Amino acid sequence: MRIIFAGTPEFAQVALAQLQAAGHEIVLVLTQPDRPAGRGMKLQASPVKQHALAHGIPVAQPRSLRLDGKYPDEAAAAQALLQAAQADVMVVVAYGLILPQWVLDLPRRGCLNIHASLLPRWRGAAPIHRAIEAGDTHTGVAIMQMDAGLDTGAMLLVESLPIAPTDTTGSLHDRLADLGGKMVVQALAQLDTLVPVPQPSEGISYAHKIEKREAAIDWTQTADTIVRRIRAFNPFPGAATLLAGESLKVWAATVSDAALPAGTVYGSIVAVTPESIAVAAMDSIVNITQVQRPGGKRLAVADFLRGCDVQPGMVFENAPDVPQAR
């Protein structure tokens, strides 16, 4: 098929590559404008744009597709490109812009979306993070026929995937991205026979965008909640805490089976071993196993302790530059 592809991050790039490998013709790519990134804050092309340029695919980066919006000239230019592409279908994956009705109506076979959740649970921007944070045991991918709502369209294909107790957003992202690419190729191959299924009206939840302020570890929460949030915020924004005036990122931790001593202060270190730093939470103990100092690398606790004197009785506090997440 002739496909217009709209997407921005690595999750979308994986699907774009699989569509190409399946033999589809990508006639136009829409992606977000280049953003400052890295220590030098230089403008950086999205993973989707980098892939498109490497494969000679035309790219458009409008800041809006609304003809009556803030950037009408950019939207009008994009409209001309989309009309000229004469696409059979548009595939949308984590694009970052709302598609107005004129875009939804343009492709002959409509617009398909790859969404990384079992809809209608976790509609919205951050379904992978929120599924881990909530303690879900399963997630998945839905191929959806897009409509004007936020992830409300009828579903063409749905496939479930287990969430392992050790999964981070990073590890789960990679599995879901690969699954999503395979499923959209399958959906296009079966488009004439697939029957759209409306989403259930029960079980709707929204995966709101991840904010940096959510990074702060709240040691008054349960140990299970803290560990889930550490996993959910790996690799972004990274769970943060403060020890002896130094902000630390906590990248890996487990819940301990050990009993919490009576009267223990939340956030206090109850034990230190080469394998972990045991920290008191509301109901149990969190064993921190991987940390990172500012400007440093991620380190296993044994390596971290060689350069940092950590003793029982010290207390982890909220990082001052990261508001407490409640």
Query: What average pLDDT does the structure give for the chain?
Result: 95
Higher-pLDDT residue of 140, 39: 140
pLDDT at 257: 87
Structure tokens at 82: 């989309």
Question: Are residues 253 and 173 part of one domain?
Answer: no
Q: Are 290 and 299 in contact (CB under 8 A)?
A: yes
Structure tokens at 97: 């812009």
Question: Are residues 286 and 162 part of one domain?
Answer: no
Q: Are 100 and 68 in contact (CB under 8 A)?
A: no
Give the range among 35-39, 125-129, 199-203, 272-276 with minimum mean pLDDT.
Answer: 35-39
Question: Are residues 157 and 107 part of one domain?
Answer: yes
pLDDT of 326 higher than 50: no
How would DSSP label each residue in 97-115?
SPPPHHHHHSSTT-EEEEE
pLDDT at 319: 61
323 pLDDT band (50/70/90 cuts)? very low
Host domain of residue 154: 2-207
Among 83, 106, 198, residue whose Cα is nearest residue 152: 198
Question: Are residues 75 and 6 part of one domain?
Answer: yes
Question: Are residues 127 and 65 part of one domain?
Answer: yes
pLDDT of 321 higher than 70: no
Question: Are residues 223 and 123 part of one domain?
Answer: no
| Residue 224 within a domain | yes
Question: Are residues 168 and 73 part of one domain?
Answer: yes
pLDDT at 261: 83
Helices (DSSP H) in 22-71: which residue ranges?
Answer: 47-54
pLDDT at 263: 85
d(CA 160, CA 164): 13
pLDDT tens by residue, 272-295: 999 999 999 999 999 999 999 999
Question: Are residues 220 and 194 part of one domain?
Answer: no
pLDDT of 225 higher than 50: yes
pLDDT at 37: 81
Q: Is the peptide bond before 120 cis (omega within 30 degrees of 0)?
A: yes
| Residue 155 within a domain | yes
Question: Are residues 45 and 176 part of one domain?
Answer: yes
Number of domains in the chain: 2
Instruction: Give percent of the chain above pLDDT 70.
Output: 98
pLDDT at 320: 55
| Residue 258 within a domain | yes
Give the range among 41-45, 71-75, 196-200 with minimum mean pLDDT.
Answer: 41-45
pLDDT at 99: 96
| Residue 324 within a domain | no
Q: Which whole number is the average pLDDT over 195-218?
A: 95
pLDDT tens by residue, 122-171: 999 999 999 999 999 999 999 999 999 999 999 999 999 999 999 999 99
Q: Are 116 and 209 in contact (CB under 8 A)?
A: no
Contacts of 165 (CB under 8 A, 6+ apart): none
pLDDT of 79 higher than 60: yes
Q: Which whole number is the average pLDDT over 35-43?
A: 84
Question: Are residues 293 and 183 part of one domain?
Answer: no
pLDDT tens by residue, 254-271: 999 888 888 899 999 999
Angle, alpha carbons 234-217-204 (nearest 5°):
65
d(CA 89, CA 100): 16
